Structure 1
Amino acid sequence: MNILITGAGRGLGVELAAEALKRGHGVIAGVRYPDQEQTALSQLAAAYGTKLTVAALDVTNEEGIAELAASLKGQGRTLGAIINNAAILTARNTPVEELDLKDMLTTMDINLYGPMRVVKHFLPLLTEPDRSIINISSEAGSITNAYPGDYPYAISKTALNMFSQQLHVYLQERGVQVLSVHPGWMHTDMGGEEAPTNPRSSAEGIISLIEQRRAPEGHFRFVDYTGKDMKI
């Protein structure tokens, strides 16, 4: 299986790439600036050779996304899974009275419109058996457990969950698995040092969701990295 991963240069993204490669999958690792030093990906390239392709992919640049999709199609490349992982977290602990709406616009552009752009242009390449689209969401996007804070991030993830649900309805007859996945509170640059979850453990769970295709028990396509249903 070939797996496209956005935001693959660090954190969960690079762990997803490492775990997928370890299991024998091909990986197209999308990063904004592939010409800059990508130490972790360089190490994976040395270990796995042509199984890893590092590609320029800025989820806010639709023209660039379309060019990459066309290039891969021209090479005869196909996909078995798309993992929309690229995201930002801004305006942490900022009261709504002090919220800069520029943070809201930027966050939606990356966390919601980014996955929509990627799916728009790469869906035609998703032709391998047992196909999946995985949108990396967050428990912060749960309406049931809403809290007053992280407004841009939380709202963007709620909207991403809606996009996943719509994609599921649209693609279920084609046999495409669509999930929004809460990866856990991870020890990454975004999650911080106090986070309890090892990102590699989360990556292992997410790749297993792609391979095992275990459907959620409930109606909604929102689960954690172990496959347990999350509250919408």
Structure 2
Amino acid sequence: MCGRFALNATPDAVQSLLAVMDIDPFPPRYNIAPTQPILMALAGPAGGPGSNLPPRQAMLVRWGLIPSWAKNPADLPLLFNARSETAAEKASFRAAMRHRRALVPASGFYEWRRIGNKRAEPYWVRPRHGGVIAFAGLMESWSEPGGTELDTGAILTVDANEDLRGIHHRMPVVIDQQDFARWLDCLNQEPRDVADLLRPADPGFFEAVPVSDKVNKVANMGPELQERAEGRAAALDDEPKDAGDDQLTLF
């Protein structure tokens, strides 16, 4: 599951990684939560021979996908994650998987480890070698009865790799930079053609840093959220309690 993440990278770093058109300046964000705006990159307008158009466009969307067919979003769960194994068949995500695949830039994500009846312990999960990465995302536009259009999105998840399954059994899908074009090419690549990209990150890609429970509160947004918590071991030998796929557990 991915219920909180961060984007500490500079706009220039994000623009360089994703090859997007100009993006507005933004501050570091250390505690991004569902229903807040998140940055996504989608395939851009096709340019002709010799075009200087960047291949991708950036947009802000509400984190929490609302299917286009929804009559009342209040009747739906908050769809901030989508299981990669079933997204292509699920009514809520099927159209976005076929037509609106996206990349979500991130510096890492937070996950909570629960064992037995102990309270959940938060971890900051970041690329071992630093830098900005891109999660696999889906974008959908929803029109309210009054005609206002709202762009929304979700992050795809997959079974956790061996490094992280001691914290939680799910993790966000990371798309490698060399696969960006194929993942975003919804004109020529059907969901079955990119299914091989929906896999856990390689062992050793991430490291999990134990952090304080300050991150539990959405109002806390400073860099101290990512500081290592004293007295908390990073050993993950025990299996966590399986809390299922209830996306609202932490909120």
Work out whether the TM-score is over 0.5.
no
More helix by share: 1
TM-score (norm 1): 0.29
More strand by share: 2
- What's the TM-score, normalizing by structure 2? 0.27
Tell me: higher relative CO, structure 1 or 2? Use CA pairs within 8 A at least 6 residues apart.
2
Structure of larger gyration radius: 2
